[in-house]
Amino acid sequence: MHSAVDVIRAKRDGGELTDAQIDWVVDAFTRGQVADEQMSALAMAIVWRGMTRRETARWTAAMINSGKRLDFSDLPRPTVDKHSTGGVGDKITLPLSPLVAACGASVPQLSGRGLGHTGGTLDKLESIPGWQADIPVERMREILADPAIGAVICAAGADLAPADKRLYALRDVTGTVESIPLIASSIMSKKIAEGTGALVLDVKVGRGAFLKELEQARELAAAMVELGTDAGVRTVALLTAMDTPLGNTAGNALEVAESLEVLAGGGPADIVELTVTLAREMLAQAGIDGIDPADALADGRAMDHWRAMIAAQGGDPDAPLPVAHHTETLEAPATGTLTRLDALDVGLAAWRLGAGRARQGDPVQAGAGIRIHAKPGDSVKAGEPLLTLHTDTPEAFPAAFEALRNAFDIVDPAAVDPRSSSHPSPVFARMPLLLDRITAS
């Protein structure tokens, strides 16, 4: 006979939970027989004491078993998905899913809505008139099996890892999100339950990411790769930089418009680079070789799959995207080289403009957000626009400008002492986007 208090005490005192304890506590919590305050106390004990590899794997399995596990293994094409831990301007899923489908894989992408300063894929797509996030499993299967579509981006049903849904909401309000085993099991329980055969994780690192330090991100990536691999999902993780926003937009409809530029063969270089890099990894994990995703972006095949994917979910790919009613410009205060544009500050400003939500269930504005006119490394002139702020609620402008007060640095190259010891350039050194790659050990 188990008791929640015994399980909490065992972890509080640094013990290792047994398989039976983990199965019981997750199941009893799902059925409402372990109270929220008890589960919160256990989560806090896990934050402090950690979990072993065995405990984390069992915890993940228990969360998967709390609901239904989808199975797409009978589809004619291999399935592969991507998960990003979230960043500012991270619209990569939008061009990536149809691109990978155009290259021969099926992409079952269950996504979420944004909370705080990072955007959510579903919020972005919901700015397309008519587009629906809720797709029944049988319809998902039809879309995935259709070679002219092959990708679906939708909300996870209520019965997919329900224990995680309840626990994540509790962790959000009890200061217990920051635990590598809890984050890894939360993300991976949903990804394993969604039935993908292979998975590429994009673990963001830096100012605008959930994890600021490379070492922490490596640890999380390794834990998730282990969980996926042990559950029979071919999994690899890329660690990618999130110190500056990705691309030139942060905000829902603004990001959809930028994704369309990428699908039309243009778009910002960093978005194209990350989309193609992730597509190559996804195709490799899916066992598809001999196809270069860069070609499918350039020749319009990815765009064809995008249009079919949007239409399959009720959206009109030709409808004009919503535009915010008010804009204001932040001008460069000096002439020089932009050496820093802070992802967190830009994300917070976009959020304050109405692109994000403070609480689950809050509405978001489709047109709100920020257009970025210069990225680190670019030359700027005093008085030229640096950022354009968009919103339907102009009373939000002062708070957004406040968030951007220390968001950037402009350095006058002529004023830098050439004998400076800074390396490799006294003014600006462009950081690589791809920081590391973690595979199963």
Respond yes or no: is residue 409 known to be catalytic: no
Piece of the chain touching ligand URA by CB under 6 A; list 92-100, 179-187, 347-355, 368-376 = 179-187
Cβ at position 204, least distance to ligand URA in Å:
11
Backbone angles phi, psi at 92, to 5 degrees: -55, -35
183 binds ligand URA (CB under 6 A): yes
Choices 54-62, 102-110, 175-183, 422-430 (CB under 6 A): range interacting with ligand URA: 175-183
Give Cβ neighbours of residue 16 (< 8 Å, ≥ 6 apart): 52, 54, 55
Tell me whether residue 179 is one of the annotated catalytic residues. no
Catalytic residue among 83, 218, 352, 390: 83
Cα 122–Cα 148–Cα 317 angle in degrees, nearest 5: 45
Q: Is residue 422 classed exposed, middle or buried when 0-12, 13-18 and 19+ CB atoms within 10 A define those classes?
A: exposed
By CB under 6 A, residue 186 contacts ligand URA: yes
Which of 90, 164, 202, 243 is an active site residue?
Answer: 164
59 binds ligand URA (CB under 6 A): no
Q: Which of 186, 207, 307, 342 is catalytic?
A: 186
List the structure tokens of 37. Answer: 């305050």
- Which of 187, 217, 353, 372 binds ligand URA (CB under 6 A)? It is 187
Strand 369-372 with 336-341, pairing:
unpaired
Q: How far is CA 421 from CA 409, 416, 418, in A?
A: 19, 11, 8
Q: By CB under 6 A, is residue 211 in contact with ligand URA?
A: no
Q: Is 83 among the residues known to form the active site?
A: yes
User: Which member of 177, 294, 411, 433 binds ligand URA (CB under 6 A)?
Assistant: 177
Instruction: Please name which of 269, 268, 267, 219 lies closest in space to residue 239, comparing C-alpha atoms.
Output: 219
Bond before 424 cis per omega within 30 degrees: yes
Q: Which of 168, 306, 408, 428 binds ligand URA (CB under 6 A)?
A: 168
171 counts as catalytic:
yes
Q: Would residue 164 show up in a list of annotated catalytic residues for this protein? A: yes
Q: Which CB, 186 or 277, lies closer to ligand URA?
A: 186
Strand order in the sheet with 249-251: 249-251, 369-372, 385-391, 326-331
Q: Which of 253, 255, 287 is nearest to 271 (CA)?
A: 255
Q: By CB under 6 A, which span of 27-35, 131-139, 181-189, 428-436 interacts with ligand URA? A: 181-189
Q: How far is the CB of 115 from ligand URA (least distance, A)?
A: 9
Sites of contact with ligand URA (CB under 6 A): 168, 177, 182-183, 186-187
